[in-house]
Amino acid sequence: MSQHRKRPEKQTRRTRGLITGAVAVTVAAGVGLGLWTGHDDSAPAGSAQAETQAGADRHAPSQSASAAAPRQNPTPSPTRSYALSTTPRTIPAVRAHTPARGPGWRPAAGRRVVVNDAGLADEGRLVAGELGLTYAGKKDDVRAGDVRLALDHGAGAAPESYRMTVRGGRVDISGPDDAGVFYGTRTLKQEVHGGGTAPEGVVRDQPAKPVRGFSLDMARKSFTAGWIEDRVRELGDLKYNRLQLHFSDDQGFRIASDSHPEIVSKQHLTKAQVRKIVALAAQRHITVVPEIDSPGHLGAVIAAHPELQLRSAAGNAPQGTIDISKPAAAQIVDDLLKEYADLFPGSDWHLGGDEYRALMVSNPAATYPQLAAAAQKAYGAGGTVADLTTGWLNDRADTVRAAGKTPLAWNDGFFRGTSVRPAGDIRVAYWTGKEIGARQPVEYLSAGRKVVNYNDEFLYYVLGQPNKFFYPRGQRIYEQWTPRVVRGTTAVSSKYDGQILGGYFAVWCDFPNAQTQDQVAAGVRMPLRATAQKLWDPRKPALTWTQFKALGDRLG
């Protein structure tokens, strides 16, 4: 059935008279939401094609009843004119919007979500359910009110990018991959939130950084599966694509293990619960990244295997520190890395590597002679404890690499002046510059390493606020941080921007009872949104913090 577009504001009386009959038919037909839309969205409102169609409809048989009525002088028909649309307000903000005139789009019962590729079924079903629409699957026909999702493998489109066109009473979202299409549906969802309207025009959007993450310390504090699932949904709507689970530390080991059930804490997630989290995350294009930290932070493992505890020449036993001179230490960690490789099918794996207490003393060789002896045996007379520890990291990288994973390690797991060099593909998770012998980010970047930003000055939410950590409120991230601010408050040179893959906002539970999990969710709410904005677009935001916070409150 033909429908009618709105007419331009400036019309002659003669033209308005010609379309009076057509208006009567259109209004009687009850076009969706009372707005006129064209049958061909390539013809703009007021175009010659639209005017010709209106003239044809004036003589249609359905108007016979009107023709039989007494003749009257033509009177102006009601018209609607639309201001040029404004850029949608979303979190993160869209990178570009081309405005247009038109009514925009709102969801309504009976409207469809259709796809051009069966691979978009998950995205289609999700947004249809969220907006109260009907998922119609793969269709080629076009109907008023449709939301069409399409894969478009055109040359030059960036990964995770999308284009969203609102025109002619319909929405078209396309991208080179399903992740980009998904992000387009997140933009649409925010635009119509609370009864809003998706503005007419074209959004062209893509992230600045390929790694946009949230890291959760669930080892020190047990979080429920339901709470983590809620964060996955929140992260997906904010266009994050990584969730890191730090599930092993001194205070607990929080995922069931078949190879070493003796190390698992009483409060833990079952593998079925983890699979559900991973599946939910995959539906939202989020990779779940496991972290089993070693050779430090292994207190839960050592509690079940005290024979693996590192001891100094004086008999001291530093907390959570495994003795890497013992082959059994490597065996148990490798057992765990191999066991969880299938549970976490994503490509990223965090190996930890931070705060190995054997290297946090003034003379490691004298304090831990067994480590010095093992280093010399492995690497010759000049071998050091730092060499031995670097070799440990490389060996663990070999283990996860064999399972198809890309290794990541904390920056204080990389040491200066060692004869053994960390493998070149191990990415640097830069979190602090407070450690002994701290190295500036530029040392890693100038060596060609890829870096992921966990800057503890801005991005660390530490329960109990120990060691001069303060809960970030979001404003400081929003106004001062960018992915190039890797350490402290100073940005590295823009020439390294391509090596900085992105960043993570991190929750650490040093004092697990300082907040409930609901308080944590509330506390990280605006910091997560601020971080999402700066990872998606590191430029100065268009909104002030007050406006951004109000937007966050409105969108929920």
Q: Please give the positions annotated as active site.
A: 355
Number of H helices, E strands in the chain: 17, 16
**DSSP strand E in 34-167: where?**
96-99, 112-115, 134-138, 147-151, 162-167
Structure tokens at 89: 């307000």
Backbone φ, ψ for residue 462 (5° rounding): -105, 115
d(CA 66, CA 450) in angstroms, rounded, equals: 73
* DSSP 3-state of 147: strand
Q: How would you class 260 by CB atoms within 10 Å of its CB: exposed for 0-12, middle for 13-18, buried for 19 or more?
A: middle
* DSSP 3-state of 300: helix
d(CA 155, CA 214) in angstroms, rounded, equals: 31
For the chain, give the number of residues: 556
* DSSP 3-state of 291: strand
Quick one: angle between helices 225-237 and 517-536, nearest 10? 20
Report the 10 Å Cβ neighbour count for 305.
16
Residue 373 carries which side chain, given as an amino acid letter? A
Q: What is the DSSP letter of 530?
A: H
Cα–Cα nearest to 290, from 340, 324, 338: 340
* DSSP 3-state of 172: strand
* DSSP 3-state of 240: coil
Residue the block writes with tokens 């520890």: 389
Positive or negative, the CA dihedral 456, 457, 462, 466 is positive
Taking CA atoms, 185 is separated from 173, 180, 238, 307, in Å, by: 7, 9, 11, 53
Q: How many CA atoms lie within 13 A of 113 on its CB side?
A: 27
Cis omega before residue 295 (within 30°)?
yes
Cα–Cα nearest to 292, from 221, 250, 351: 351
- 442 within 8 A of 499, measured Cβ to Cβ: no
